[in-house]
Structure 1
């Protein structure tokens, strides 16, 4: 964004921001305290809906001009606006800003929220499959410890799973050539080194381990090792949404996010906007045993947020909980594909494993039925869920376990 520096010089004398510390806006107050600002930090800034390209460009110029004035001697050193994000009509950007600049832009009428960049971590016709992983058996049985997985032979055909994770080992035999890497940051290898993303993808759509056994699986790599930042998540979401919309895949795609971190209004707003575009976002509730309302993207209003149960259909002690959780799914000791070889498997536990069961079910249902909104798809999943089957539920999570409606 070299043009920002060039035009910032012109704007120095006309920047309209006041230098006094303004009062906190309601949404920003939840995210950041002005008194708690670092001398310099990386921020994610969400913008109001309906922003025109001209207004966006003017806003970015004003921010860069203020930062240039406050940090004149170090503008070349990496401060200022770093990257913008366009997720449908939602707009946000990341910037390295000093304390004075944040104070001066705090009440800009185009800004919806300002927050520090955060760190996110990874949290896993009717056919019959004999001796399936217990998680699959749960989907078509009314009691724990079932021995069969019954499912319609359509099995998610014609649908697309975008797996926001550590990547996918697309050569694994369980994917039958239906998996590929769609996006990875330039500094990373376009495959899965960690194993988490491959495991998750296997639960969504693997031949042996998957719910939707004929879906297409697209790896969207956002993790370096086992950590991601708000900006890398935004970049991955932007790529996924652009790929879905340019290929006309709305209504046939989900984005699975078996990951989580501190509450982020900017990330949640992006997730809600994605749902409004006809793309179901599925999020793991998290593994800290705390209310999911404190975690993003699990706390996004329009995400399908999934908590975990064990094979006895008890809520796991690690699963985040609360009314923000929509449904419970298998998440403890789940077998799926892995990365050490192209036939490798591994047992993992976490709400990371619960979310892809629901993502797979969503794809399975999209291949069978017509849904004109993500809300109707969500309602259908909840309608099919088995009520009051969780043993000794100790939290205020819903007593509801996923089911595919195959008798």
Structure 2
């Protein structure tokens, strides 16, 4: 009998004893389940020899607001702002898979050509991106005009409802799905995951992210837009994730961005244009956009340099422009995401 089957049998035994049914069963990056339990069942499970921890499910929200101008791509490929070009290596993320854990992807959007698919939904009764947030983030990761990695393949995993509401249990289910699904895809150059949302600090969420990164999968997460310490929220507090703050077109740290030691790097996040469902485009602000840029940068570097997982976050930090940002809160690193375009093999085209 396989180890996974042993774990699943244990989970099913716990379910029969303490819960009528499970919303999700986790059998990959985490071993366990989510469901509705009585108070007595919670107490019993916390004392059970086979149970590591029990925590209350929590809601999370997207890390986005709204506003005005397409400058983000030009900024991550130039040492000085205002150059109006985006320069990138012709590999452009080819051979990588980018999973967008969000509200879904409008895979028919012209920005994506034939490179996008909406794979699965963990929101009952909803499959399409009726919110727009997931399509927006996917556009920044790999849209042909708005995106960093213009040749990556984009896969939508819906964990946010069309009203922008989501649960930790659905996010963990989404991460569990990625752990299994990428093996059936053509992801020879690497796998990256974008999570542009956040909520209360969660052990389950942070452990699920860590398990995925240990398997060589890069995870970029939004720092959050609450003007507080990123270490207080999840998944931004997950040490193995690449946690991204935001700055504006004047190279000033965004007033809304979370901050602190959990931040690994910052990226454009104010007045950003990207794709929107129904062949549209839209302007948005938030660390959601910043995280998506860094996810695209990770796919780009994975294809170009052949590095994966946590090494990608290290490489992004190494390449970043240091001490360029203004008004960075104390205790927050001053690193600006940068793709290091240095030779004649890079394409450059006007932008903005």
Normalised to the residue count of structure 2, the TM-score between the two structures is 0.90
Aligned equivalents of 1:364, 1:306: Cα separation in 2: 17
Give 3-state SS (helix, strand or coil) of 2:78's partner: coil
The answer to whether the 8 A contact 1:250-1:277 is kept is no
Question: What is the match of residue 118 of structure 1?
Answer: 58
**Would the aligned equivalents of 2:95 and 2:187 in 1 still touch at CA under 8 Å?**
no
2:31 corresponds to which residue? Answer: 91
Alignment of structure 1 residues 274-313 onto 2, 5 Å: 274-313=212-251
**Higher relative contact order, chain-length normalized (CA < 8 Å, sep 6+):** 2
1:380 Cα shift? 0.9
Q: Distance in 2 between matches of 1:266 and 1:205?
A: 29
Aligned equivalent of 1:163, options 100, 103, 106: 100
Query: Are 1:260 and 1:286, in contact at CA under 8 Å, matched by a contact in 2?
Result: yes
Give the match's secondary structure for 1:313.
coil
Matches within 5 A, 1:207-222: 207-222=144-159
- For 2:18 and 2:128, the matched residues in 1 are separated by 41
* TM-fit CA distance, 1:396: 1.8
SS in 2 for 1:354: helix
- Contact 1:251/1:278 (<8 A) preserved: no
CA contact (8 A) 2:71 2:272 kept: yes
Secondary structure of the corresponding residue to residue 281 of structure 1: strand
In structure 2, what is the Cα distance between the partners aligned to 1:62 and 1:361? 42
Runs of 4+ deviating beyond 6 Å: none
Cα distance change on mapping 1:316 and 1:248 into 2, 3 Å: same
Q: CA 1:345 to 1:56, structure 2 compared with 1: closer, same or farther past 3 Å?
A: closer
| Structure 1 contact 285–325 (Cα < 8 Å) conserved | yes
Equivalents in 1 of 2:54, 2:123: separation in Å? 27
Answer yes or no: is the 8 Å Cα contact 2:46–2:52 preserved in 1: no
State whether residues 87 and 274 of structure 1, in contact with CA within 8 Å, keep that contact through their aligned partners in structure 2: no
Q: Which of 279, 286, 304 is the equivalent residue of 1:350?
A: 286
Shift of 1:189: 4.0
2: distance between equivalents of 1:182 and 1:169?
11
Unaligned residue ranges in structure 2 (runs of 5+): 343-352
Aligned twin of 2:269: 331
TM-superposed deviation, 1:299: 0.8
**What is the distance in 2 between the residues matched to 1:292 and 1:349?**
18
Paired residue for 1:128?
Answer: none
For the pair 1:396 / 2:322, whether they are aligned, the reply is no
Contact residue 154 and residue 368 of structure 1 kept, 8 A? yes
Q: Cα deviations across residues 33-59 of structure 1 (Å, max 9, x unaligned)?
A: xxxxxxxxxxxxxxxxx9763355245
CA contact (8 A) 1:87 1:270 kept: no
In the TM superposition, what is the alpha-carbon distance from 1:303 to its structure 2 partner? 0.5
Cα 1:289/1:184, change in 2 over 3 Å: same
- Deviation track 1:327-370 (CA, whole Å, cap 9, x = no partner) reads 0000111011112x31x111100000000110000011111112
* Contact 1:244 1:250 (8 Å CA) reproduced: no
Aligned length: 336
Choose from 289, 293, 296 the match for 1:360: 296
The answer to whether the 8 A contact 1:188-1:224 is kept is no
Partner Cα distance (1:347, 1:61) in 2 = 49
> For structure 1, which segment, 186-195 or 196-205, has the greater mean C-alpha deviation from structure 2 after superposition?
186-195
Aligned with 2:305 (options 369, 388, 392): 369
User: What runs of 5+ residues in structure 1 fail to find an aligned partner?
Assistant: 1-49, 68-78, 125-131
Q: 1:292 to 1:335 in 2, by over 3 A?
A: same
Contact 1:118–1:262 under 8 Å retained in 2: yes
